Amino acid sequence: MNDLAGKHIVLGLTGGIACYKAAELCRALVKEGATVQVVMTEASEQFITPVTMQALSGRPVYTSQWDAREPNNMPHINLSRQSDAILIAPCSADFMAKLVHGRADELLSLMCLARPVDKVPLLIAPAMNREMWAHPATQRNMQQLADDGATILGVGSGFQACGETGDGRMLEPNELLEDLIAFFQPKALAGKKVVVTAGPTFEALDPIRGITNHSSGKMGFAIARAAREAGADVVLVAGPVHLPTPRGVRRIDVQSARDMLAATEGEAARADVFVATAAVADWRPATHSDQKIKKDGSGAAPTLAFVENPDILATVAKTARAKSGALFCVGFAAESHDLVKHATAKRERKGIPLLVGNIGPLTFGQDDNQMLLVDANGVQELPRASKLDCARRLVAEIAQRLQRR
């Protein structure tokens, strides 16, 4: 993955114990292809050394505005002009207050003040004790920074180094990385609401057993992430899978197809786009036992009868058509053979504008995928790529079609 290739990030560290996480963040940014220039305040040097940050970023660290390494002796100008974004992580309460007032008595705040506001975005990852975070002064400062054009990445909640528990922890390096990657993605779905179904369903036989399938949910989760990156408000209706929820996505966990339908119908009523990637069980057991089904000692196996599950995609698409609603429905078809023929027929049968076909065995559980887009104009084969890249491409294709309507 090289989602930050070509990006030059100034990573600013201010005084706080979360500086230990900045080391891992720096490494993660570099691994993702970014060049990273670290700038540290004097207070941050109490928590981590410039040596560590230099080794991880592969560049000398700047700690003073009086740095004669710069030919013009103006690191605050030069560093900010070269960067695609300035990320302050951790950002202390004191540093937020300084930024609000435009103070510039050391290099990092001086550089933030000197940056061309319309060209170099400023992202802030606050980190502080929960009382400091909750204090009206900090909350006021945060609002002011946002009004001044900074992006506040929020805080985590939990156990704090001071021994207290609450809001104010710096976000984890992987969360900050995901947020920064998202920040640079085009906002093709800004203001839109997107609902995605993902993963398998689980159809219970009794409290212990049930019928499910091997869907990993990876494609649906990637689409939820890509839609969120594109600026959408995203709801992910997920069957039982063990995947982390993409940043900024609201997740509703469900088990059965009928649960999934109920959750999806509620959300889709107010959505602009519905993407059905879930591998919904076509049938569920006709009966459900409240108690574990026991062997009766005769050696006879129980006979299982099934009934068909609702088709979530077809149902949601039909409701949207009946209301002449604007919901744009996208389906997936995993086939084992004759992909074009089956995918084309399936799009018509489900009554949807766009269907993504793929060869199931080549994509199940994998990290990459090859998509075939089928719409009223025909069939378009896309190159094999990671599921996240496929998801971003699909989101761009959906956004284009929304615009053309």
- The answer to the question of residue 312 lying near ligand CTP (CB under 6 A) is yes
**What minimum distance in Å lies between the beta carbon of 124 and ligand CTP?**
39
- The answer to the question of residue 200 lying near ligand CTP (CB under 6 A) is no
Residue span 226-265 as binding mask against ligand CTP, x where in contact by CB under 6 A, dash where not: -------------------------------x--------
- The answer to the question of residue 311 lying near ligand CTP (CB under 6 A) is yes
Our answer to whether residue 162 is catalytic in this structure is yes
- The answer to the question of residue 276 lying near ligand CTP (CB under 6 A) is yes
Residue of 95, 202, 328, 332 that binds ligand CTP (CB under 6 A): 332
Contacts for 357-366: CB closer than 8 Å, 24+ residues apart: 357/332, 357/333, 358/332, 358/333, 358/334, 359/334, 359/335, 360/334, 360/335, 360/336, 361/336, 363/219, 363/334, 364/214, 364/215, 364/216, 364/334, 365/214, 365/216, 365/218, 366/218
Residue of 42, 131, 164, 282 that binds ligand CTP (CB under 6 A): 282
Degrees (nearest 5) of the Cα angle 222, 356, 234? 35
- The Cα 37–Cα 26 span in angstroms is 9
CB-nearer residue toward ligand CTP: 249 or 275: 275
Residue of 86, 331, 388, 392 that binds ligand CTP (CB under 6 A): 331
Residue span 159-198 as binding mask against ligand CTP, x where in contact by CB under 6 A, dash where not: --------------------------------------x-
Residue span 201-230 as binding mask against ligand CTP, x where in contact by CB under 6 A, dash where not: ------------------------------
Of 117-125, 210-218, 243-251, 307-315, which part binds ligand CTP (CB under 6 A)?
307-315
**What minimum distance in Å lies between the beta carbon of 331 and ligand CTP?**
4
Q: Are 268 and 320 in contact (CB under 8 A)?
A: yes
Please name the residues in contact with 353: beta carbons below 8 A apart, sequence gap of 6 or more. 328, 329, 330, 375, 376, 401
- The answer to the question of residue 344 lying near ligand CTP (CB under 6 A) is no
- Active-site residue identified among 26, 112, 162, 329: 162
- The answer to the question of residue 343 lying near ligand CTP (CB under 6 A) is no
Of 134-142, 165-173, 286-294, 329-337, which part binds ligand CTP (CB under 6 A)?
329-337
- Contact residues for ligand CTP (CB under 6 A)? 197, 257, 276-278, 280, 282, 309, 311-313, 331-334
Q: Which residues are catalytic?
A: 162
